[in-house]
Amino acid sequence: MIGAMRDVIVAANWKMNTTPADAAELARTIVSRTREAGVIRVICPPYVCLAAVGEAVADEDPPVAVGAQNVHHELAGAYTGEISAPMLASLATWVIIGHSERRRDAGETDELIGRKLGRAVGAGLRPILCVGEQLADREAGRATDVVDEQLAGALEDHEPTALADAGLVIAYEPVWAIGTGRNARGSDASEMADAIRSTLEHHGWGSRTAGVPVLYGGSVTSANIDEFFSEPAIDGALVGGASLKPDEMAGIVARAGMTARARGAAR
């Protein structure tokens, strides 16, 4: 029943794929095949494609949001090649923060991710904060502890009210299930979603906790998404490679639509 109060979200992370020349057409194809009432659709293309995708989906009904895949932790300065939150504000309304690939490849720490979160919220961007454990952490029985530490580090010094008002979304990425051939189960994701909400309550979120959507983001496909949407604690998906394939996105969003309708009936 708690899930009935939360948004149902499918966010497409295109990573380092597409060019401005082909991104707009791909976006139009995907959105034309994913019109499901009650589902928030977000497309996160590379920086250079934000404008093209934004123009391509501008008149969509239901609307489609555009998100960035990253943001810098400062507002301006001598940071060659970086993009700040104010720069993104006219091109996107959402942003992914702390993705596992940023933690791995760019060495992003929880403290740095927390600073990015503050910049995003200050610029009016809706954040998708990513958390998740490595295989060694899970095998050592530390999966929940690791995610708790990541959340605590990123949320430190942020007022729960401000983050709740900004529409904070949390994406659970079991890193061990991304591109490895190993699969997480719906029960794994549900257990972690419950742990995430317990951490939020511990950090003073109180009743606001029930309204925070938790997405699943571990090699999501149309073939496995049903298992995750069947869990009331899961509110959507952060889709990686499959988000570049219109057929896959059509299947994923169709299943999200079923969840949205069920929650609407529950209300």
Give me the helices (H) in 60-202, please: 85-88, 100-106, 110-122, 135-139, 143-155, 160-165, 186-202
Residues 6 or more apart whose Cβ sits within 8 Å of residue 31 = 41, 43, 56, 57, 60, 64
**Is 119:104 a contact under the CB 8 Å cutoff?**
no
Catalytic center residues: 99, 173
* Exposed/middle/buried for residue 247 (C-beta within 10 Å: 0-12, 13-18, 19+): exposed
**Is 124:92 a contact under the CB 8 Å cutoff?**
no
What span, in angstroms and rounded, lies between the C-alpha atoms of 88 and 204? Answer: 30
* Exposed/middle/buried for residue 93 (C-beta within 10 Å: 0-12, 13-18, 19+): middle
List the one residue out of 172, 266, 174, 187 whose CA is nearest residue 231: 187
What span, in angstroms and rounded, lies between the C-alpha atoms of 235 and 65? Answer: 17
**Is 208:2 a contact under the CB 8 Å cutoff?**
no
